[in-house]
Amino acid sequence: MIPFNKYYNQFNIISIVLIVFSLGLLFFKGLNYGIDFKGGTLIELRSTDNKINVSSLRDSLSQMNLGDVSVKKFGNDQDYLIKFEINDAKNDVIENIKNNLENSYGNNFNFRRVENVGPKVSSELLRSGIIAISLSLAVMLIYIWIRFEWQFSLGAIVALFHDVIVTLGMFSLFSLEINLSIIAAVLTIVGYSMNDTVVIFDRVRENLRKYSDIKIFELTNISINETLSRTLLTSITTLLALLAIYIFGGEILRGFSFAMILGVIFGTYSSIYIANTVLVRLNVTQKTVLREENKD
């Protein structure tokens, strides 16, 4: 049996540091919102001419009064991502850029993807994204509250917030773009993390009923170990699938799969080291589980 419980305190401190650090990042550095949430225009351009590169593109676009233009390489060597914020989304700005680039480079490029999100739509998308995440957290809270005693619910929720905050903190740290698919990833993380916690809690509760003489400190450790091979197996297969998406799924899915990979790692960690320690600190005993049953 692996003595997970030996490190409860250490990992709790690490997690608190991580959360404070993440909140600090989110507060002071903020998130790098993509055009979905900030509004603006995105063009994915593929060139067949080696005269086209980041600096030459930047030069030709800077004369067009587009405001702050960002040009980046995107995956493949000949692909570039052009982004800028325009507030009064003129309907012909994309055509103008195309003409301008055609004048400089001829027909040696094409626009693979064009996205243009107006300020009204982006603020609506941001709002519905925030609502979706809050709503799913609320629904999970209700579900877990119905299924378990309040000590367990608290443990699961603390673990859940830990995962979401730390994942978003990582996005802030590395300035990764937050777009619609990241919201989907965060929601899936919420589901995954909850699922992981619930499996261990199920076992803790079962063991609480079985053994009256074992302290919760030991009991959580036994339960973690009993479910450990399942936890690892599921994490590994899920990570294998996610790694396949991250490596082979193309540039568009990269942010999404990265968020999910982080989420699965933190989710697995938090169900062992966060959720369980909440039970220990609340000193859950056999009575907690039995009292609840007598009530029914």
Of the two residues 7 and 211, which places its CB atom closer to another protein in the complex? 211
243: which 2 tokens? 């790694």
State in angstroms the smallest separation of the CB of 29 from another protein.
Answer: 26
Say how far apart CA 89 and CA 38 lie, in whole Å. 13
Contact of 186 with 164, CB cutoff 8 Å: yes
Of the two residues 63 and 91, which places its CB atom closer to another protein in the complex? 91
Of the two residues 51 and 230, which places its CB atom closer to another protein in the complex? 230
Burial letters 175-198, b for 16+ CB under 10 A, else e: ebbbbebbbebbbbbbebbbebbb
Under the binding rule (CB under 8 A), the answer on residue 114 touching another protein is yes
Give the total residue count for the chain. 296
Under the binding rule (CB under 8 A), the answer on residue 236 touching another protein is yes
The piece of 9-17, 58-66, 164-172, 192-200 that touches another protein (CB under 8 A) is 192-200
Interface with another protein in residues 121-160 (CB under 8 A): 121, 125, 128-129, 131-132, 135-136, 139-140, 143, 147
DSSP-H helix ranges across the chain: 8-24, 35-38, 54-62, 93-105, 119-147, 150-173, 180-210, 216-248, 254-273, 275-281, 286-295
State in angstroms the smallest separation of the CB of 252 from another protein.
Answer: 6
For residue 153, the Cα-to-chain-centroid distance in whole angstroms is 22
Burial tier of 221 (Cβ tally within 10 Å: 0-12, 13-18, 19+): buried
Compute, in degrees rounded to 10, the torsion defined by CA atoms 86, 105, 102, 251. -50
What x/- string results for residues 196 through 235 when contact with another protein is judged by CB under 8 A? Answer: --xx--xx----------------------xx-xx--xx-
The piece of 3-11, 21-29, 111-119, 212-220 that touches another protein (CB under 8 A) is 111-119
Q: What Rg do the C-alpha atoms of the chain give, in angstroms?
A: 24
Under the binding rule (CB under 8 A), the answer on residue 33 touching another protein is no
State in angstroms the smallest separation of the CB of 142 from another protein.
Answer: 9
Furthest C-alpha separation in the chain? 82
Say how far apart CA 114 and CA 127 lie, in whole Å. 23
The only residue of 54, 89, 126, 282 in contact with another protein, by rule CB under 8 A = 89
Size of the site for another protein (CB under 8 A): 69
The only residue of 152, 256, 258, 266 in contact with another protein, by rule CB under 8 A = 256
Contacts of 143 (CB under 8 A, 6+ apart): none
Say how far apart CA 245 and CA 106 lie, in whole Å. 35
Under the binding rule (CB under 8 A), the answer on residue 74 touching another protein is no
The tally of CA atoms less than 13 A away on the side-chain side of residue 52 is 25
The only residue of 51, 72, 73, 112 in contact with another protein, by rule CB under 8 A = 112
Under the binding rule (CB under 8 A), the answer on residue 26 touching another protein is no
The only residue of 49, 85, 115, 292 in contact with another protein, by rule CB under 8 A = 115
Site residues, another protein (CB under 8 A): 44, 46, 89, 91-92, 94-95, 110-118, 120-121, 125, 128-129, 131-132, 135-136, 139-140, 143, 147, 180-181, 183-184, 187-188, 190-192, 194-195, 198-199, 202-203, 226-227, 229-230, 233-234, 236-245, 247-250, 252-253, 256-257, 260
